[in-house]
């Protein structure tokens, strides 16, 4: 992936980039949590049926993310951003904060963030690192409605799609790292890139579902492939 001075890089990351930091992927060996598939805990229906279960899931995710450290792949992307400045844009599906802790600045969490919550009625998000693991769930100080994780569940619209599409529209290379290509709209970014005729590259140890859509597939863990790319960026 040698870049020229005028190139603009759009990076999409998924759970695979945090796998080597010890955070479980969604569709990796056996799925995720206490026998629950992600579709059972990451939906508005799950929230309506059992908010306590959903909060226990996200409390565990907060605990795991707080204990994890950024790895060489997160750091490599931050180094590439240092070189490219505003010609770099990182869109992550991940809700952990490992990209930020590695130094990434131009980053957007399209599926929300673990360390914010919001009132279901007022809709205003706020920083929150608490664990809610008892039936005594949090409520809004203003309107007393339930507080939910600031996460985009299935059937909800990912955050700030307009800006994502604007960035995709002016990118010259799309680099996708560690995502199975099974969840839309992120899995469709490569099709948008192809319609624009820009270069598309995938990095991960196994082929994603949309593998046919990429120009190049680098079958390698992110911590091995990404650090070697720093020198290819002017």
Comparison of 72 and 122: residue with beta carbon closer to Zn ion? 122
Choices 46-54, 123-131, 193-201, 204-212; region in contact with ligand BJW by CB under 6 A: 204-212
Site string for ligand BJW, 5-34 (x = CB under 6 A): ---------xxxx-xx----xxxx------
Q: Note whether 184 binds ligand BJW by CB under 6 A.
A: yes
What is the distance between the alpha carbons of residues 102 and 100, in angstroms, rounded to a whole number? 5
Site string for ligand BJW, 122-151 (x = CB under 6 A): -----------------------------x
Among 74, 99, 111, 150, the active-site one is: 111
E strand or H helix that includes residue 100: helix 98-102
Q: Note whether 221 binds ligand BJW by CB under 6 A.
A: yes
What is the distance between the alpha carbons of residues 218 and 120, in angstroms, rounded to a whole number? 41
b/e string for 46-55 if b means 16 or more Cβ within 10 A? bbeeebeebb
- Tell me the CA distances in angstroms from 76 to 3, 39, 81, one per residue in order: 15, 31, 9
The contact set with Zn ion (CB under 5 A) reads: 119, 121-122, 140, 142-143, 145
What is the biggest distance separating any 2 CA atoms in the chain, rounded to whole angstroms? 55
- Based on its alpha-carbon atoms, the radius of gyration of the chain, rounded to whole angstroms, reads 18
**What's 139's DSSP letter?**
B
Q: Note whether 180 binds ligand BJW by CB under 6 A.
A: yes
Q: Note whether 70 binds ligand BJW by CB under 6 A.
A: no
Comparison of 143 and 184: residue with beta carbon closer to ligand BJW? 184
Q: Find which of ligand BJW, Zn ion, none residue 5 binds, CB within 5 to 8 Å per kind.
A: none
Q: Note whether 218 binds ligand BJW by CB under 6 A.
A: no
Q: Find which of ligand BJW, Zn ion, none residue 34 binds, CB within 5 to 8 Å per kind.
A: none
Whether residue 108 lies in the annotated active site: no
**Residue whose pair of structure tokens reads 């929150």 in the numeric block:** 128
Q: Report the 3 state secondary structure along 26-88.
A: CCCCCCCECCECHHHHCCHHHHHHCHHHHHHHHHHHHHHHHHCCCCHHHHHHHHHHHHHHHHE
The nearest distance, CB 5 to ligand BJW, in angstroms, is: 28
Q: Note whether 222 binds ligand BJW by CB under 6 A.
A: yes
Q: Find which of ligand BJW, Zn ion, none residue 146 binds, CB within 5 to 8 Å per kind.
A: none
Phi, psi of 130 (to 5 degrees): -75, 160
Task: Give the residue numbers marked as catalytic.
Answer: 111
Q: Which residues bind ligand BJW (CB under 6 A)?
A: 14-17, 19-20, 25-28, 38, 42, 93, 95, 111, 151-158, 161, 178-180, 182-185, 204-206, 208, 221-222
């Amino acid at each position: 992936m040698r870049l020229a001075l005028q190139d603009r890089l759009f990076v999409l990351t998924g759970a695979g980039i945090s796998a080597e930091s010890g955070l479980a992927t969604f569709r990796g060996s056996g799925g995720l949590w206490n026998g629950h598939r992600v579709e059972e805990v990451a939906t508005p229906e799950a929230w309506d049926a059992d908010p306590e279960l959903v909060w226990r899931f996200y409390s565990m995710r907060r605990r795991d993310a707080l204990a994890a450290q950024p790895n060489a792949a997160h750091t490599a992307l931050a180094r590439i951003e240092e070189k490219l400045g505003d010609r770099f844009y990182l869109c992550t599906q991940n809700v952990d904060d490992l990209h930020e802790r590695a130094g990434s600045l131009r980053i957007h969490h399209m599926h929300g963030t673990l360390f914010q919550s919001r009132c279901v009625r007022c809709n205003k998000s706020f920083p929150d690192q608490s664990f809610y693991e008892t039936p005594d769930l949090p409520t809004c100080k203003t309107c007393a409605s339930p507080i939910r994780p600031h996460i985009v569940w299935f059937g909800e619209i990912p955050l700030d799609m307009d800006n994502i599409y604007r960035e995709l529209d002016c990118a010259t290379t799309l680099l996708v790292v560690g995502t199975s290509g099974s969840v839309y709209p992120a899995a469709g970014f490569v099709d948008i890139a192809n319609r624009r005729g820009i270069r598309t590259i995938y990095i991960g140890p196994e082929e994603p579902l949309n593998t046919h859509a990429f120009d190049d597939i680098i079958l390698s863990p992110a911590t091995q492939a990404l650090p070697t790319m720093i020198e290819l960026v002017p």
